[in-house]
Amino acid sequence: MAKASRSYGGVALEQRRAERRERLIRAAVSVASRVGREATSVASICAEAGLTARYFYESFPNRDALFAEAYAHVQQELFGRMAPVISSDDPVRSALTGFFAALATHPAPARVFLLDLEEQDKAMKDLGRAAGDRLGQLIVPDAASPLARVGATGAVVQMAKRWIESGFAQPVETLVALALPFCRAAAVQA
Q: 106 near 81, Cβ under 8 Å?
A: yes
- Which residues, 6+ apart, have CB-to-CB distance to 44 below 8 Å? 31, 35
The per-residue pLDDT for 119 is 57
Quote the Cα angle for 97-146-130, to 5°.
Answer: 65
CATH level 3 topology of 9-63: Arc Repressor Mutant, subunit A (1.10.10)
Ranges of each domain in the chain: 9-63, 66-186
Pairwise pLDDT comparison (112 vs 172), residue with the higher score: 172
Angle (nearest 5°) at CA 55 between 50 and 58: 155
Q: Spell out the CATH class of 66-186.
A: mainly alpha
Q: Which tens digit of pLDDT belongs to each residue from 76-131?
A: 999 999 999 999 999 999 999 999 999 999 988 887 767 766 556 788 888 888 88
Q: pLDDT digit string (tens) for 135-147?
A: 999 999 999 999 9
Helix (H), strand (E) at residue 38: none
